[in-house]
Amino acid sequence: MAGYFEAVPGGGAAVALDEVELSILRSLAVQLLELIGPGDEPDEDADPLAALFAEGPTERPSDPALARLFPDAYADDDAELRAAAAEFRRFTEVDLRTRKRQDALAVVRTLDAFSAVGEGGAVLKLDPDDSRRWLGTLNDLRLTIAARLDITDDESGDALHHLPDEDPRKPMVMAYLWLGMLQETLVETLMG
């Protein structure tokens, strides 16, 4: 089980991670939370129906990583499609940001709980709901790193596999590949 997800009885998945892996995952998830930003939580006495219909931004994020996490619904330069994409974003981005934030926070909380257990690492056992949250966060982390590394297709990704060790992008490439392996084994586990 070391380093890859396996199925657990009753659904869900488990993975054995050492202290370094736990620390890297937590750091990446916290950075993702910082990138996504704080939520616009309604006041306690706010009208719940009004909060449900809160409008979000209409412009695509300028940060390439955020643009990858929150893409336009329509990728065409036609003025009508740009207007439709803005309208779609206005009504969906707030909820999407909230879900991504909740998923990343669930990952951090899981890692914090296991970090407190002791030294040497841990076997994380995730129920089906936590497995879904983890899968979403692993995907978001890979999309963010891909944007930072300017990976736009298989060719640009393959070129990074052979970087010399002294290349400053090497740690990010290694994290990208490792997260991909975790994501792939989690998908296989959940589909199996």
Structural domain boundaries in the chain = 6-191
- Which pair of structure tokens corresponds to residue 128? 């089906």
CA 171 to chain centre: 18
CA 58 to chain centre: 22
What's the CA gap between 53 and 106, in Å, rounded? 25
Strand pairing report for 13-17 and 122-126: antiparallel
Q: What is the pTM of this model?
A: 0.87
Digit-by-digit pLDDT tens for the chain (192 residues) are 467 899 998 889 999 998 899 999 999 999 999 999 986 555 566 666 655 566 777 888 999 999 999 998 887 778 888 889 888 888 889 999 999 999 999 999 999 987 655 566 778 999 999 999 999 999 999 999 999 999 988 887 788 888 899 999 999 999 999 999 999 999 999 998
